[in-house]
Amino acid sequence: MLEDIQAAIPLGFFLAFMIGPVFFILLETSVIKGFRAAVAFDLGVVFSDILFILLAYFSSYQLLENLSNQPGLYVFGGTLLAAYGTIVFFKKTKVPHDKSTISPEKANYLELFMKGFFLNAINVGVLVFWLGLIIVIGPNLDGDPKRFLLFFSTLLTAYFITDLLKIALSKRLQKQLTPPIILNVKKAVGAVIVVCGIVLIVKGFLPKEQLNPSEIIKEIGQ
């Protein structure tokens, strides 16, 4: 049991620094809307991850096979991400021009929670990752449900705590915020989301063998 915890903590820390649309939006939310808003967004992401883990745990190989046979899911998810990123990039944001710095924007916490949930949920790559991780980790946990629960609970806890530290550190940037910087940050985040969406779309057009997560996992293990 202790070994499971020791293995899960560094993995959770590592996952918190994986670069993707959620990573940048979390930092943007913290800087522009404040600590609580970013936590609400992050809770939505974590809740989405929990559902993905449960789905992956109870379906594993069958779902992996279905995903590899339906690359259109990557195209669909990538299109949604790219569209959202485009909206963020071109959306006009009203910011005061008579202040050198600004205060955090008012936040709708439920809306931010749902935003985090859906942005994570439409990224099919996240589900593939959890599926692959369960297949790799499963044998080491002897298929024991209690060990699975302990491992992934510890992993997500470490992930969330690391995110809280990221949020707290990025919040310090509020004092340096000016209207032009805010606009540039939002445009940069929008551009990153578009790029991530395009990457997913490209994956949807790759040959089937390059989309098969189980084959990739086998190659890594060799």
What is the per-residue pLDDT across 127-179, written as a single tens digit (0 to 9) for each?
777 877 777 676 677 767 888 889 999 999 999 999 999 888 876 766 665 56
SS3 19: coil
What's residue 92's pLDDT? Answer: 64
What's residue 65's pLDDT? Answer: 55
Other beta carbons within 10 Å of 32: 24
Per-residue pLDDT band for 96 (boundaries 50, 70, 90) equals: very low
* Cα first-last separation, the chain: 27
Specify whether the CB–CB gap between 84 and 198 falls below 8 A.
no
Specify whether the CB–CB gap between 27 and 170 falls below 8 A.
yes
Higher pLDDT, 66 or 169: 169
Closest Cα to residue 16, out of 47, 53, 42, 52?
42
Alpha-carbon span 201 to 191, nearest angstrom: 15
Per-residue pLDDT band for 49 (boundaries 50, 70, 90) equals: very high
What's residue 114's pLDDT? Answer: 94
Alpha-carbon span 81 to 192, nearest angstrom: 10
Alpha-carbon span 182 to 97, nearest angstrom: 12
- Give the containing element (helix H, strand E) for 156: helix 145-171
Q: Which amino acid is at 209?
A: E
Whether pLDDT at 26 is above 80:
yes
Per-residue pLDDT band for 54 (boundaries 50, 70, 90) equals: confident
Alpha-carbon span 156 to 184, nearest angstrom: 31
Whether pTM exceeds 0.85: no
- Give the containing element (helix H, strand E) for 86: helix 72-90
Whether pLDDT at 116 is above 60:
yes
Specify whether the CB–CB gap between 71 and 208 falls below 8 A.
yes
What's residue 166's pLDDT? Answer: 86
Closest Cα to residue 65, out of 219, 212, 217, 215?
212
Structure tokens at 166: 């990221």
Alpha-carbon span 109 to 25, nearest angstrom: 15
